[in-house]
Structure 1
Amino acid sequence: MDLLSGQDQSNRIDVLIDTLKLEKHPEGGFYSETYRSTQSTANKEGVLMTSIYFLLTSENVSNFHKISNDELWFHHEGSPIVIHTLQDEMHKEYILGKSYKEACSPQHLVKGNTIFGSAVLEPNSYALVSCVVSPGFEFKDFKLFSYDELIKEFPNEKEIIKRLTP
């Protein structure tokens, strides 16, 4: 993994935001939808698949949220990302990246209805990933969580809940 340093990294983030036409995402980070299937689900309530570019930096996180459908994450460049899940009264961490060290994987599946958030692993860094949702992502299926909502269900996870809530 070759991380850029200092000004080069800041420039790279600006280039990615500009070139990929990334906008601020409600959960944190920056995104751009790159694909929305033209085929509908069997019940005609959504599309079969969507895909986005998603950029996180050390200055922002993906706050805890959930969506109804499965989401596959693919790492493209930059720092590994730690994907944090809260499920069955447990906090788990998965490392998404290309270093193949310490259980690091270049792709990760987050099952639908899982509460999750993420942050870059390295200080002063960024990560560019793609996220594919099937059936396709719709904002009506998106729920962002507050600290108060999560601490009731996961009282032993105060530190990570505080870090990954707005």
Structure 2
Amino acid sequence: MKQVEQLIKKFDLIPHPEGGYFKEIYRSQGVVFPESLPKEYQGSRNYATSIYFLLTSDTFSAFHKIKQDEIWHFYSGSPLMLYVISEEGELSEHCIGNDFGKGQIPQFVVPGNHWFAAKTINPDDYSFVGCTVSPGFDFKDFVLPERKELLDKFPQHSILIHSLTRN
């Protein structure tokens, strides 16, 4: 897929631990100090951060969670399916894309502390999106669980968890 190679090169994307490729493009200079954050945060956070994120039909964004809300913005390529599981085990599915007549939406907010994963819908294609996090992203807030942990928590979603985890 020549377009994927061009996007990786043009935007200087690198592999992301959850799958796909990314590049941080914005980190606010303003900072939220620990005393103004909920106690589950360790240290300060920037007001907001933003990345480019690229998935291909050969990979997926594995189930993970962060403490913050994360806004997904669709840019180009195939629509993608975003799967979200709440701590109570409620599953929701959201098609992020630009074919509004088919019910796709160009933007979606994943609530903080929800498990989520994504995959490109069309075969032999890519999904190019952006993700904005506030307060700003820090890998201290990132949890990439082992498959067994999610299966123990959410056995009712075992097929989906098996397909969107790596270990």
TM-score of the aligned structures, taking structure 1 as reference length: 0.92
- Residues 92-133 of structure 1, C-alpha deviations (whole Å, 9 max, x = no match): 110000011333100000011110000011111101000000
Q: Partner residue of 2:38? A: none
Q: How many residues align?
A: 157
TM-score of the aligned structures, taking structure 2 as reference length: 0.91
Shift of residue 141 of structure 1? 0.3
Q: Partner residue of 2:62? A: 63
**2: CA distance, partners of 1:89 / 1:69:** 18
**2: CA distance, partners of 1:101 / 1:85:** 23
- Residues 26-48 of structure 1, C-alpha deviations (whole Å, 9 max, x = no match): 00000000001000014371100
**2: CA distance, partners of 1:78 / 1:97:** 8
RMSD (CA atoms): 1.0
Q: Partner residue of 2:148? A: 148
Query: Is the partner of 1:157 in helix, strand or coil?
Result: helix
Q: Partner residue of 1:103? A: 103
**1: CA distance, partners of 2:8 / 2:118:** 19
Query: Is the partner of 1:123 in helix, strand or coil?
Result: coil
**2: CA distance, partners of 1:99 / 1:48:** 32
Q: Within 5 Å, give how 1:23-38 maps onto structure 2.
A: 23-38=14-29
Q: Partner residue of 1:7? A: none
Q: Partner residue of 1:45? A: 44
Runs of 4+ in 1 over 2 A off after TM superposition: none
Contact 1:90–1:154 (Cα < 8 Å) also in 2: no
- Identity across matched positions, percent: 39
Q: Partner residue of 1:125? A: 125
**2: CA distance, partners of 1:101 / 1:69:** 30
After TM superposition, the structure 1 stretch with the greater mean CA deviation from structure 2, 84-93 or 126-135, is 84-93
